[in-house]
Amino acid sequence: MLVYVIRRLMQSVVVLFVMSALVFVGVYAIGNPVDILINPNADQADIERAIRGLGLDRPLWEQYVVFLKQAAVGDLGKSFAFNVPAIQLILERMPATLELAVAALLIAVVLGIPLGLWAGLKPNSVAGKTIMAGSILGFSLPTFWVGLMLIMVFSVYLGWLPSNGRGPTTVLLGVPVSFLSWDGISHLLMPATNLALFKLSLIIRLTRAGTREALLQDYVKFARAKGLSNARIVGVHVLKNILIPIVTVVGIEFGSLIAFAIVTETIFAWPGMGKLLIDSINVLDRPVIVAYLLIIVTLFIVINLAVDVLYSVLDPRVRLSEAKS
């Protein structure tokens, strides 16, 4: 297990390294930030001073070496547009994204597991079929379009919920959060629902499939033969066994929630890192793009590793080892 974790970590470092080089070269090879960031009316001396200030006059490899040296001490460069450290810019916006992703995950789990159980226990009932049809729709609906439709219904026509922004935040344990005030929740509700939709469908399907499979197992028959109540069979025996794959998926999907938050944040003008990325791409703010990508890649590596380890803890039958192909 320890060997496995160490090997995975080493592999992760390689991935991170390759990604950083690819992203750096790619991002720095396109466009010219000078055109965008420096006032075109400035005189030649001003432009040259600005280029030197941004380090853009040096060759690409030299810029990369400087970048790596600084990255090693947690300095990913200064944003061209805001003139503050890129990493600070991203970390400032990270709580907003994490709050959104966690809220979406909660919605997906709290609604998805009971609905999936229901559909799995009564697959041929009207409710069961409706739930499944709904989940197919949830898979097929383009997330960004659903977001627009939510805004149209709940903000424009009904006027119940605000269509953009995060609302007031309260500092909880040093992190600004918005779910502690009603106004904050009303801002959070729509983007979180929008982001949750796809995962909700996924969890419904997983829970349903798991439930149907578990119901056929001997331990369920045995529990019935013992005369246990239905509630106990489902609530304790079935649920416990279907939770293992669900925990894994929830873990992996948390990363993809953060990635998909890019779309949701853009629609609802949620001030998270995803919106920052899109804004930065639009103005070619390279340090921020590179920093965002490195941070998200790191985040993914950590999440994937944590899920693998957690999985082996939850299910002792799983042994962590390099898959033999």
Binding interface with another protein (CB under 8 A): 15, 23, 26-27, 29-31, 136-137, 139-145, 148-149, 151-152, 155-157, 163, 255-256, 259-260, 262-263, 266-267, 277-278, 281-282, 289, 293, 296-297, 300, 304, 325
Instruction: Select from 3, 10, 33, 111 the least CA-distant residue to 289.
Output: 33
Residue whose CB is less far from another protein, 119 or 238: 119
Nearest to another protein of 220, 269 (CB atom): 269
Q: Largest Cα–Cα distance of the chain, in whole Å? A: 88
Q: Which of 209, 215, 257, 258 is nearest to 234 (CA)?
A: 215
Decide: 105 and 199 in contact? Cβ < 8 Å: yes
Rounded to a whole number of angstroms, the minimum distance from the CB of residue 175 to another protein is 24
Least Å distance, CB 255 to another protein, is: 7
Sign, CA torsion 159/163/169/173: positive
Give the residue carrying structure tokens 């970048």: 67
- Residue 203 CB, shortest distance to another protein, in Å, is 17
Q: Report how far residue 302's alpha carbon sits from residue 132's, in angstroms, rounded to the nearest whole number.
A: 33
Nearest approach, Cβ of residue 212 and another protein (Å): 15
Comparing CB distances to another protein, the nearer of 148 and 239 is: 148
Which H or E element spans position 227? none
User: With 0-12 CB in 10 A as exposed, 13-18 as middle and 19+ as buried, what is 167?
Assistant: middle
Q: Which is nearer to another protein, 114 or 142 (CB)?
A: 142
Q: Say if CB 233 and CB 112 are below 8 A apart.
A: no
Identify the H or E element spanning 171. strand 170-172
Nearer to another protein, 29 or 231 (CB): 29
* Closest distance to another protein from the beta carbon of 306 (Å): 13
Question: Nearest approach, Cβ of 248 to another protein (angstroms)?
Answer: 13
Coil/strand/helix, residue 78: strand
Q: What is the C-alpha separation between 127 and 149, in angstroms, rounded?
A: 25
Q: How far is the CB of 94 from another protein (least distance, A)?
A: 16
* Pairing outcome for strands 170-172 and 175-177: antiparallel
Of 241 and 312, the one with the shorter C-beta distance to another protein is 312
Residue closer to another protein, measured from CB, 48 or 311: 311
